[in-house]
Structure 1
Amino acid sequence: MGILSNTVSICQFRVAGDFPAGDLFQWASQRLAGNGFKSIDQGTAELSVGWVHLDDHRQSDFAAPGAFWRDHYLVFTLRRDQRRLPAALVKAYQQVAEHEYLAENPGLSRVPKQKKEDMKEAVRSMLLAKTLPVPSTWDAVWDTRTGLVTFASLSPAIIELFEGQFKKTFEGLRLVAVHPYARAEQVVTEALKPALAQANQAGSDAALDLIRSNQWLGWDFFLWVMFRTMHDTSEYRITCGGHGEMNEPFAAYVNDRLVLLSSGENGQQKITVAGPQDHFSEVRTALQNGKRITEATLYLEKEEHTWRVTLKGELFHFASLKAPAVRLEKDDSVDEHSEKEAVFFERMFVLEQGLQLFDSLYSIFLELRLGSGWEEESTRIGKWLAESDAL
């Protein structure tokens, strides 16, 4: 699913490094074009990776502004074409080639090792020439105003591919994942930054250490939202900047699906609780037994609009993020390119508004979690969980 789809899975990064001096458009145009996708349809190459246009995955020329420039956004798509040969198919053709060779050389009982390797390469080349590469694409949006990059994939392998291609393309820059602790640094108030730093359980600034050592952020956040879903109005106010006005009301709650995990002598144990929740009794029992919520379906509502997302607690990845549908009035006087741009801007508006609501919810949680009110709130949550014993 691409970034323009009504439902999309995304992760975010912050761009680190020094931007080059001079014209940003000219620099980005040259760097994207220099690392643009090159077709392998007519050859036997197994893999090709490069950038293409968001609106046309056949195009990799970034000379015109309309190809990738949208106001303060840079938009581009990572394309990977790959030929895959089933091992069983290669083996079958290899056996045929070996039988033919032995038939032509009756004095031999087996194919020499080097000859066998040459045959294998010849078989692979022959099969590759008959196999069309399979294309895959993943969209990226770089907000040069905030320095955030939104990428439409949650696959670890694809994220690694994207990070490597980005670093190769934009020399001197790199991507830093916006994980729970990094997002906390973005949304927490200046007054609470010392408390956040003190609560940081990582021993270094390495992203992997910050993620693994601060899983408590996701655990406590899910627990708090679930408790608030049951005991409060689930109404909040916007506290982070964005398209919505500060202090505007919105609602947030968890429902439908929660995933819990625990680690013990027998390895990890995982349970999934699906379906609309009444009292979260099954989840509360699992929490009492030492499990932690690691994933949940979160709803965000503002006026008549609803955002639904499966939030991954360890990394704060947004899976199956369904935003309000983008609907534009048809106008025959508007050309196709302008219409596509209008769809893009409207789509980014609803996506960013949903993320603004999430950041506000996270900020409100951190205000409580890092402040003096957490002890009282934690006691209330503990009493509520204890009620599960009587259910």
Structure 2
Amino acid sequence: MNHKLYYRDAYLTDFSTKVLNQELEEGNWYVTLEETAFYPTGGGQPHDTGSIEGVSVINVEEVDGEIRHYIDRPLPGAVETVQCTVDWERRFDHMQQHSGQHILSAAFEELYGYRTVSFHLGKETLTIDLDIDELPREHAGAAESRANEIVMDARRIEAKWVNREEASRYPLRKQLSVTEDIRLVIIPEFDYNGCGGTHPKNTAETGLIKILGWERQRKKVRVEFICGHRVLSQLQQKHDLIRELSGLLNAPPEKMPASIQRMIAEGKHMEKTQEDMSEMLLQYEASTLMSDQNPKVLGKVFQNRTMKELQKLAKTIVDHGESRPVLLVAENAEKLQLVCARGENGQLNMKELLGEVLPVINGKGGGKPNFAQGGGEASIPGEDLLSLTIEKMNV
């Protein structure tokens, strides 16, 4: 473990070392170093980034005991000793989040016996999966409060290497996943856990811990939360959003819920009014069409009307007791649509009628004997389609 400098000092960001090897693997360059402070992906913690001799380190992985530093371009061939820099902002963020996970998981277990079975550290938030079916809100609040008590206590965080027999003397929160090179991360009198990640020196450096929410996931409860600088960042984002919404609503933050509820109610009222007006217009349009003096058929060609509007208009006309067949055509861009309807006492099969005319416009449709609809290409004018349909009726 001597070549893993991040275990000696998690705060080390600048170091010099020798290059052992540089290789191209499937189009990706990587180097191995005599020793390194770059943490590789593992144990739920993402890898470090930074630079080696000014060349960007974009990924770090441990493969068969070898730590590979993937770089965006190869190092100069003559370079033997290199100056390396770890991105401290990214490293410290991971340290805060990882220690926060230990603290929150231990708080859930201490208070309620809720065991953490998995952990994920993401770019924006992190999650733990608790081995429970349901998380009461008051339990989440209590665990969050307990976790922040531990943070405010500024308890030291210790890391020590032990063998299996030595590890058995500690009240470990979870079963060890390794049998040798065992590293324990300890918050005395609170949490004892096998872990290979990087952590701050004391709990105060973790910063505040805030639970954002939780949901059921595969018979477990997934808790989403943030720690440290991420809390401040999210607080600023939410503050900016509230300030913007407050300006748009012309209401202070404490009155925003009432203002939004009022807007929702007004919107629903406007929607209802619009529906009522649309219905009135539809009734008027139906009455106007029914005044047509053609004794055999009621037909009309419209511009830019949807199929739904045609159907509703045809149904309204039929429901008003219209005895004549109703044929409504709409010309929409490069498409023709047709609705054929009849009253209860009509004998004409509208589905069969539609099937006779749609091939002319390479169309498709369907329906019932008393009400059918379909559409196709605008290969002929709408008036011609209406005339053809009337002709097929043989009336």
The bucket for the TM-score relative to the shorter chain is under 0.3
Query: Larger strand proportion, structure 1 or 2?
Result: 2
With normalisation by structure 1, the TM-score equals 0.22
Answer 1 or 2: higher relative contact order, Cα 8 Å, separation at least 6. 1
Q: TM-score normalised to the size of structure 2?
A: 0.22
Structure 1 or 2, whichever has the larger Rg, is 2
